[in-house]
Amino acid sequence: MPTKRRSAADSLVQLEKRVNTLFGFLSNLHGPDKLVLKAGKLHALYLMSSESLEDRLLALQRLVFEDPTMTNRPQKHEFAAILDRVEEEIADLVAMKTVEESLDQKIAHKMQERHRDYLRELRREALKEEDGPENSTTLKRLSELELLEKKSLNNSVLSLLRPRSLEEVVGQDRAVHSLKAKMGTPFPQHVLLYGPPGVGKTTVARLVLEEVRKYSHTPYNEEAAFVEVDATTIRWDPREITNPLLGSVHDPIYQGSRRDLAEEGIPEPKLGLVTKAHGGVLFIDEIGELDPILQNKLLKVLEDKRIVFESSYFDEDDPRVPQYIRKLFTEGAPADFILIGATTRDPEDLTPALRSRCAEVFFNPLGQEHIQEIANLAARRLNVKFASGVAELVSRYTIEGRKAVQLVADAYGHSYLRRTNGNGNGKARLTLSKDDIETVVRTNRLSRNSTVQAGQGLEIGCVLGLGVAGFLGSCLEFEAAVFPARDKGKGVLRFNEAAGHMARDSVFNSASVIRRITDKDVYDYDVHVNVIGGGKVDGPSAGLAIVVALASALERLPIPQDIALTGEVTIQAKVKPVGGVSEKIRGAALAGVKRVVIPRENLTEVDRDLFSVVEILPVSSVAEVFALIWPRHAWIQEN
């Protein structure tokens, strides 16, 4: 019996502690003052101060359930159940109060945003009422700018004389057809254009796009853009702070986006040229000069056909981010275009990754007849006549179409000023003479295309070889002199080292070939081989010219000066193929050469149009070359 009484007493103590705890929680929830006021309104104040647990529990019910009509004091066996219901009701009150506080905060934030927008609108209205942001200085500058817009000059001479259709492009029929075949199909290809400067790579690319847009099956629409950029002028930051080619992100902290976005801390993507060229052509001139890292990024865009933007400041869940910015960060920007890259470099100078993704088109150097045609077309556009021999004179000083046009335009200017004294109306038709061209040549300090020219007669020990630099071929003059050595077998073989190690090796190979064919040992003589002008010879292609010069000097056999030779010579007296044969033949034609000797294995590489320009003689051995040059000499036989 004493044990049961202790248990009951303990239970009452625990219940009283729960009641006190709940009163304390209500005091913290509402605050002591508000709790006292609430208890007064609900007639529970005197019950709260009672020493009776029943009274205090009744007061707790009135406060929690907010019901002053509750008058029945709870019985002891009901205490626990009543406290459980009170605790659940308090938990609901706490949850409701938390939600209300969260809503109050959101409402306050929205009200603050609306207040800022309202203040901005008020400022704008105030500016409008005060005649806007303009003042006397800004209005003056606006007036000056509008006056400048009203002034204009006639078209520049280059824009006036630029080809307006593919029919006006001179000397590039094969390249034009090849580019049309790569762009004018339902599945166009990326293209790399190779060729010397001033032959029309950019103009042809633009005109081909204009033509293939008219095809019924074309993937380009009428608004397909031709976006042009020079790789040498592209400046970008590896941190992607700025990248005009691919696009960049202007973060609000570093360099800022629009002012309203910067105030909100929102990054703003800036679209690059790859997106502006979407659906059209991106033309990159001098693409070989493009930064290698930027080239790799460009190749990634070519594969994905999209450009992706990233920024640590972008929050996809931020409701303040405009939809177009959200779309650019989450989906990227379209960049589906055809890349056309032009370069004056050799194909080997470009990265293999870029070349593997692009078709290749080669533009030919322009011949003299092409330059003359371009000069005549420029004269018609300028409404001038050429005196006899003027077009031919122009072709001697340039192999670039652009330079030919500039030379004609400069001569036109000199002639116009001299004959009108600046008082003409510009409509009288002028005649350009050789004197006008020569005036420009002297003023601009121009030099002839080829300092080496083919001769008409015969010479002993002198022969023309062929070289190529870039896409341009040229003639090289080789000469050999032979004198009996003081001591037989102890002769000296001299060669100007400035021509390079490959040319030196060609001299020693030629000495062995001479001994093999003529049965004469060059070391019984003092031999001197020279490249006139000291030109550097890269590669073994000078071997054929050197062996002919040595044979001529040893046998005192004259060589026709209208023939040029190229080819590698082995010590077995065979003639092996070399590179740049078509370019070398064009260079020979430019120097007035009538016949060109080339390795037989190179014959299939020669451009078809060159067969009508010079006589091309393919050979396989040195003996064949000797038979061509000296057909009546008995010692010429193939070993």
The catalytic site residues sit at 541, 584
Question: Which run of H or of E encompasses 125?
Answer: helix 79-129
User: Under DSSP, is residue 301 helix (H, G, I), strand (E, B) or coil?
Assistant: helix
DSSP three-state, residue 293 = helix
C-alpha dihedral, 628 to 629 to 632 to 638, nearest 10°: -60
Asked whether 465 and 448 are in contact (CB, 8 A), the reply is no
H/E element, 191: strand 191-194
* Backbone dihedral angles phi then psi of residue 107, each to the nearest 5 degrees: -65, -40
* Three-class DSSP category at 345: coil
Spatial CA neighbour of 449 closest among 542, 534, 367, 562: 367
C-alpha span between 536 and 108 (Å, rounded): 82
Burial of 187 (0-12, 13-18, 19+ CB in 10 A): exposed
SS3 209: helix
Distance CA 298, CA 245 (A): 8
Residue 301, amino acid:
V
Burial 444-461 (b: 16+ CB within 10 A, else e): eebeebbebebeeeeebb
Helix, strand, coil percent content, the chain, rounded in steps of 5:
50, 15, 35
Query: By three-state DSSP, how is residue 190 classified?
Result: coil
Query: Can you give the length of the chain in residues?
Result: 639
Question: CB-based contacts of 572: which residues, under 8 Å, 6+ apart?
Answer: 516
What phi and psi, each to the nearest 5 degrees, are found at residue 581?
-65, -45
Asked if residues 281 and 337 have their Cβ atoms less than 8 Å apart, the reply is yes
Cα distances from 156 to residues 374, 406, 421, 449, 463, in angstroms, run 17, 11, 21, 26, 46
Burial level of 507, CB count in 10 A (0-12/13-18/19+)? buried
> Burial, 273: exposed, middle or buried (Cβ in 10 Å; 0-12, 13-18, 19+)?
buried
What three-state secondary structure class fits 240? coil
Three-state secondary structure call for residue 359: strand
Say how far apart CA 379 and CA 407 lie, in whole Å.
11
